[in-house]
């Protein structure tokens, strides 16, 4: 039976932060709003369509990359024994 691999804290943080980015992008896509620092609240996409699309695109790219990176880090770690 192969030895079990333990998940490091760095991999857990990457997966959690990536999942939060993906959830934010999904929320923006579902509601049609994004967080606007000028108004300190959620703004409809009609006012700033490019910013809304950029939030979704970057959220999916960065979030997906972090989740995949965290999973690959777990699978490539060597056993400490």
Coil, strand or helix at 35: strand
Q: Is the residue at 4 inside a domain?
A: no
Q: What is the pLDDT along the chain (81 residues), one digit of tens a residue?
A: 666 666 778 888 888 999 999 999 998 889 888 887 777 877 787 878 888 888 899 989 999 999 888 888 777 655 454
Q: Is the residue at 64 inside a domain?
A: yes
Domain containing 30 equals 9-76
pTM here is: 0.74
Tokens of 32: 């049609």
∠ CA 38-39-45, nearest 5°, is: 95
How many domains would you assign to the chain? 1
């Amino acid at each position: 039976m192969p030895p079990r691999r333990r998940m490091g804290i760095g991999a857990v943080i990457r997966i959690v932060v990536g999942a939060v980015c993906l959830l934010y992008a999904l929320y923006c896509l579902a509601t049609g709003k994004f967080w606007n620092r000028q108004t300190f609240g959620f703004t409809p996409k009609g006012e700033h369509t490019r910013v809304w699309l950029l939030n979704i695109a970057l959220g999916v790219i960065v979030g997906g990359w972090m989740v995949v990176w965290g999973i690959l880090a777990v699978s490539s770690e060597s056993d400490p024994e």
